[in-house]
């Protein structure tokens, strides 16, 4: 009977694949929950951004509607599109929440062009912390 040969490279590859599968499952779970609860999350996010004085708006409802649409669209986006969007802020913090990172970049980059937005204040990390304070509940327990 032949002896199974397990090399260090093979073990490393298996470990990397296991980590990738775990991250992919977590990502799918987070995106699904964000889509299912888009109304609730957008209301809470809008209020948090206004309370922390990150966003100044002339229409709270328009802002809420924008976030609902983003959360619903996010679940059906290609992984490539999401990665391209979050690339500028990927190194903002270690192990970021993908929804928080995506919405942070959306707020910084695209939301300013919305007619309901008067101004956006703070640094990237401040915006991320405000957004993540709402979406951190999406992460499954470790």
Per-residue model confidence as pLDDT tens digits over 109-131? 999 899 999 999 989 999 999 99
On whether residue 127 sits in a domain, the answer given is: yes
- Indicate if the alpha-carbon torsion angle 27, 138, 96, 80 is positive or negative: positive
- Is the per-residue pLDDT at 38 higher than 90? yes
Q: What is the pLDDT of residues 58-111, one digit of tens each?
A: 999 999 999 999 999 998 898 899 889 988 888 888 888 889 999 999 999 999
Which positions ≥6 away from 27 have C-beta within 8 Å? 98
Q: What is the pLDDT of residue 25?
A: 87
pLDDT number for residue 141? 63
pLDDT of res. 37: 93
Range of the domain at 23: 8-138
Establish if 3 belongs to a structural domain.
no
In a domain, 47, yes or no: yes
In a domain, 94, yes or no: yes
CA 60, CA 63: separation in Å to the nearest integer? 5
pTM of the model: 0.83
> Does 80 reside within a domain?
yes
Domain count of the fold of the chain: 1
């Amino acid at each position: 009977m032949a002896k199974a040969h397990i090399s260090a490279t093979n073990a490393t590859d298996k470990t990397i694949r296991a980590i990738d599968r775990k991250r992919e499952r977590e990502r799918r779970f987070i995106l699904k929950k964000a889509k299912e609860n888009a109304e609730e999350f957008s209301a809470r996010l809008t209020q948090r951004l206004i309370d922390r004085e990150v966003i100044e708006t002339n229409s709270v409802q328009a802002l809420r509607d924008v976030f609902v649409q983003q959360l619903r669209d996010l679940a059906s986006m290609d992984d490539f599109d999401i990665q391209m969007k979050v690339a500028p802020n990927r190194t903002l913090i270690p192990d970021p929440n993908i929804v928080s990172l995506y919405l942070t970049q959306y707020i910084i980059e695209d939301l300013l062009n919305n007619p309901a937005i008067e101004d956006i204040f703070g640094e990237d990390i401040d915006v991320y912390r405000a957004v993540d304070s709402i979406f951190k509940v999406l992460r499954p327990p470790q």
